[in-house]
Amino acid sequence: MDRALLARVRQQAWFHKYPRGLPFLLLAITLFGTVLSVMAIERADTQREQLELDRNFTEIASALQRRAAEHIAVLRASASLFATSENVTHQEFTDFASDLLEANYQRGSLGLGWARWLDVNAVPGFEAGIRESEGPQFVVHPLPQPGQNISVPIVYLEPLSVANRRAIGYDMYSETVRREAMDRAIRLERPVASGKVHLVQDLDDPGAAGFLIYMPVLEQTGARRYIKGFVYSPFRADEFVESAAKLFRNRPVEIAIYDGKEEPEDLLAWRKLPGENNLSMARRIKVGDRDWILRVSSKRESVLSPVALATLFFGTILAVLLMIVGMLITNRAAEDRQVLEWLQRQSAIRNSLTRELNHRVKNTLANVLSIVSLTRRRSKDIDEFAENLTGRIRALSATHDLLSQSNWTDALLGEVISNELAPYLQGSEQHVEMSGPQVRLAPNDAMSLGLAIHELATNAAKYGALSCDEGRIVVEWQMLSPELVEVSWREEGGPPVSPPSRRGFGRDLIEKVVAHELQSQVDLQFNPGGVECTLRVPVRKPLTFALRQSEKNETAD
């Protein structure tokens, strides 16, 4: 049937069923040429826009770095003032800052500030001194945290606007990003920009992003240099970008600046423009010895040029026609191919299941033949042979039933034991006590364990704890490792036990056959108080039949 179906699919090829296929092929060639023409036109426009965007990027990056260099130059001059003077008064700092403001220094910056480097223990005395000279409003905040040894409060900040007044007394060393920038500035002994921060001046605007540039003021004492404080400038990132925009031609480009990584949480400033982005370019730049990622995007003026639009219009009409014809062809071919593949899969699954069934039957028959042979040699008469053989085959059957319920994937250890002991419970579980975790066994291991439990239960019913009302059996199991479980059988309350004078089939089955199948030794003890048996069962990972599993998945789909 598969060959006939394949032959039918080949006979229904498009060039036989659709004799007018050649015109469609010509249309496809025409459309391909049209697309190539449109691509060539757009590629030329894209290359031109890419070059223009690269020039824009260079100008913008240069403008940002130039603005930062201007502020750094002022910070260096201010650092010289504090390095050469033991104590700069507020009035001296105000006069110095005013000269800079008059020179149009404040380009994107909120001002110029001075912060003192202090030991935490010296903060109360320093705070009292500033209050005495400047006024009672000076308060260092926030309070030093446990384990904080250094405090760097803002002492002066000009111009003293309403927003800047909030920052006076703020301990910048209490915040992680500012602290890292100050430590790096001390280590490098040059101006350093901080990462993205929320300025104290912008408490009423939680979404505002800013940064600071720190210039360390170092003092030489003999051969040793120590930090005196920082001259710094705070910046609102958006205002800084707008001030830099005055240094380049205001083209319709969108600017986004990220601190270190191009992630939403690291966005410093976004000069957003209306319209859809066309081309985009991102590179790393250095501002204040810190890595920024500058992304510049051009805006799309129109989707395509007029010539490309006209070409695309006529090409689309041809493409729609080709799509309709293609759908008619491919849908029929796909349906036939799906039927053929389904039949092939069903045939493969059927053959594999037949092989699997044959393998299972052979293994079961081999076990039965082995049991029959050993039972015959150990039996005294035909009745004993029939009774023993029937019980053992029923034990196999009980385990088979359990495995059949799980599609021969695995069986619960507790259920295997319960099935074998069920005939001896007599409507009450007082004779048997079982405990242990839930463990799943592979099919062959479950069958071997079932045979062992059956033999132990049969022996207990004839001679041991199950032969009297006071007797009981305790079966416990525990995991020795993820790959091994130990099963313990113990009889209590039965008649006294003495070692048997001859080896029976049950003992051989447990100590040889089962031990061989489980690949572990079995410890069988005939103690006076009752039989005790300890055996170890491997916990193998169940293997699912691949084709059967694929069939399940297809049914679920």
pLDDT tens, position by position, 123-146: 999 999 888 887 778 899 998 888
Does residue 359 register a pLDDT over 60? no
Residue 114 confidence (pLDDT): 95
Tokens of 519: 């690949």
- Tell me which DSSP letter residue 236 carries: E
Higher confidence at residue 447 or residue 491? 491
pLDDT tens, position by position, 483-534: 889 999 998 888 888 887 776 667 777 776 677 777 777 888 888 888 999 9
Least confident of 75-89, 414-428, 452-466: 414-428
Residue 402 confidence (pLDDT): 56
DSSP string, 441-507: E-HHHHHHHHHHHHHHHHHHHHTSGGGSTT-EEEEEEEEEETTEEEEEEEEESSS-----SS--HHH
Instruction: State how far the Cα of 221 lies from the Cα of 228, in Å rounded to an integer.
Output: 11
Burial class (CB in 10 A: 0-12, 13-18, 19+), 551: middle
Tokens of 525: 């003890």
Residue with tokens 């089939």: 505
Residue 511 confidence (pLDDT): 73
Higher confidence at residue 29 or residue 398? 29
What is the helix (H) or strand (E) element at residue 212, kind and residue range? strand 210-221
Does residue 353 register a pLDDT over 70? no
Q: Are 412 and 438 in contact (CB under 8 A)?
A: yes
Tokens of 282: 């991102």
What topology does CATH give the domain 13-301? Beta-Lactamase (3.30.450)
Residue 169 confidence (pLDDT): 93
pLDDT category, 311, cuts 50, 70, 90?
Answer: confident
pLDDT category, 391, cuts 50, 70, 90?
Answer: low
Q: Which residues pair with 284 in a beta bridge?
A: 293
Residue with tokens 């930062």: 68
Q: Are 64 and 287 in contact (CB under 8 A)?
A: yes
Region 397-419: what's the mean pLDDT?
70
Residue 365 confidence (pLDDT): 60
Does residue 178 register a pLDDT over 90? yes
pLDDT tens, position by position, 202-252: 988 888 999 999 999 998 777 788 899 999 999 999 989 888 887 777 667
pLDDT category, 392, cuts 50, 70, 90?
Answer: low
| Strand pairing report for 432-435 and 440-441 | unpaired
The answer for 364, left when phi > 0, alpha when psi is -120 to 50, beta otherwise, is: alpha
pLDDT category, 546, cuts 50, 70, 90?
Answer: very low
Residue 261 confidence (pLDDT): 92
pLDDT category, 271, cuts 50, 70, 90?
Answer: confident
Residue 415 confidence (pLDDT): 83
Residue 346, CB-side half-sphere exposure with 13 Å CA sphere: 9
Residue 516 confidence (pLDDT): 74
Instruction: State how far the Cα of 93 lies from the Cα of 88, in Å rounded to an integer.
Output: 7
Does residue 363 register a pLDDT over 70? no
Higher confidence at residue 325 or residue 416? 416
Does residue 66 register a pLDDT over 80? yes
Mean pLDDT of the chain: 79
Q: Does domain 380-538 have CATH number 3.30.565.10?
A: yes
pLDDT tens, position by position, 326-341: 566 666 655 666 666 6
pLDDT category, 557, cuts 50, 70, 90?
Answer: very low
Q: Are 265 and 277 in contact (CB under 8 A)?
A: no
Q: Which residues pair with 481 in a beta bridge?
A: 484
Tell me, what amino acid is at 96?
F
Region 537-549: what's the mean pLDDT?
62
Q: How far is CA 455 from CA 127, 372, 382, 520, 537, in A?
A: 91, 15, 19, 18, 16
pLDDT tens, position by position, 286-308: 998 999 999 999 877 667 777 77
Residue 545 confidence (pLDDT): 45
Higher confidence at residue 377 or residue 45? 45
In 3D, which of 187, 186, 155 has the Cα closest to residue 172?
155
Q: How far is CA 436 from CA 87, 138, 262, in A?
A: 80, 72, 55
pLDDT category, 196, cuts 50, 70, 90?
Answer: very high
Does residue 478 register a pLDDT over 90? yes
Least confident of 20-34, 201-215, 411-425: 20-34
Least confident of 2-6, 89-93, 520-524: 2-6
Tokens of 514: 């089962």
DSSP string, 267-278: EEEEE--SS-EE
Dmax (CA) for the chain in angstroms is 123
Does residue 88 register a pLDDT over 60? yes
Tell me, what amino acid is at 295?
R
15-24, 153-162, 220-229, 268-277 — which one is most confidently predicted on average?
153-162
Higher confidence at residue 194 or residue 143? 194
Domain extents in the chain: 13-301, 380-538
Q: How far is CA 518 from CA 440, 445, 512, in A?
A: 14, 6, 10
Residue 12 confidence (pLDDT): 53
In 3D, which of 196, 202, 303, 299 has the Cα closest to residue 255?
299
Higher confidence at residue 338 or residue 427? 338
Instruction: State how far the Cα of 233 lies from the Cα of 113, in Å rounded to an integer.
Output: 6
Determine the distance from the C-alpha atom of residue 442 to the mean position of all C-alpha atoms in its chain, rounded to a whole number.
33
Domains 13-301 and 380-538 share a fold: no
Q: Are 329 and 14 in contact (CB under 8 A)?
A: yes
pLDDT category, 422, cuts 50, 70, 90?
Answer: confident
Of the chain, the percentage scoring pLDDT greater than 70 comes to 74
